[in-house]
């Protein structure tokens, strides 16, 4: 994660990425749906952590997270 991220937000964003990797490895089904929900929750928590730690850099952090995930898709 780049400098825009607080340490806690970066950790949560990495966990969300790991959950999305699991979704990509699984066939469709309940397991994939649960991992996708977990990834969504982790991204939400990462954004919240960043907003609490450094609200002025939230936009930069969100942009980086979004661009990272879009690039991986």
Tens digits of per-residue pLDDT, 41-71? 999 999 999 999 999 999 999 999 888 876 6
Would you state the structure tokens that stand for residue 40, as one six-digit string?
A: 């969504």
d(CA 67, CA 54): 20
Q: Band the pLDDT of 28: cuts 50, 70, 90.
A: confident
pLDDT for residue 64: 92
pTM of the entire predicted model: 0.85
Q: How far apart are CA 67 and CA 73, in angstroms?
A: 10
């Amino acid at each position: 994660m780049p400098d825009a991220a607080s340490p806690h937000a970066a950790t949560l964003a990495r966990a969300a990425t790991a959950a999305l990797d699991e979704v990509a490895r699984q066939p469709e089904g309940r397991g994939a749906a649960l991992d996708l929900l977990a990834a969504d929750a982790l991204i939400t928590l990462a954004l919240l952590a960043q907003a609490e730690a450094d609200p002025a850099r939230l936009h930069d952090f969100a942009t980086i997270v979004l661009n990272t995930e879009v690039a991986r898709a």
